[in-house]
Amino acid sequence: MLANIALGLTVIICSFAIIIVFIGVRNSILAGRSHERIKNSGKESTARITHAQQHDNQKVEGILVLHLQVEFDAAGKRIATGKDVIVKFFDADNYKVGREITIRYMTDDPTKIVVMGDVRN
């Protein structure tokens, strides 16, 4: 009786773990497709960094995870949006407040951007 309960709990826990891994992989693939679509068919522009903050959970030596707030003009409107990027420690000076960076955005939704250059989005 106790062995059956333990086996049942093990099956349930393994099922949840598989589902969580599956959802994580699926979300990563979808995000990658979205970034590639923006890179390939988005409109290129220059954006000014208005706020840059380092994330608290830095786990890898030599890189920084930054949350950037940027402003740029798209279709005659001033767009302000945010983006998380991963940069090498030595390239961090390029992502300070006031710096201009190259981005690509979708014309149908300019808040969806990809930062171009020496970063990972």
Q: For residue 27, what pLDDT is reported?
A: 85
Q: For residue 77, what pLDDT is reported?
A: 93
- Cα(114)–Cα(102) distance, rounded to whole angstroms? 9
How would residue 115 be classed by pLDDT, with cut points 50, 70 and 90?
A: very high
Residue in this structure with the two tokens 């208005």, named with its chain if needed = 50
pLDDT in tens, 4-14: 888 889 999 99
Q: For residue 29, what pLDDT is reported?
A: 85
pLDDT in tens, 34-86: 888 999 999 999 999 999 999 877 777 788 999 999 999 998 899 999 999 99
Q: For residue 4, what pLDDT is reported?
A: 86
DSSP symbols for 66-113? EEEEEEEEETTEEEEEEEEEEEEGGGGGGGSTT-EEEEEE-SS-TT-E
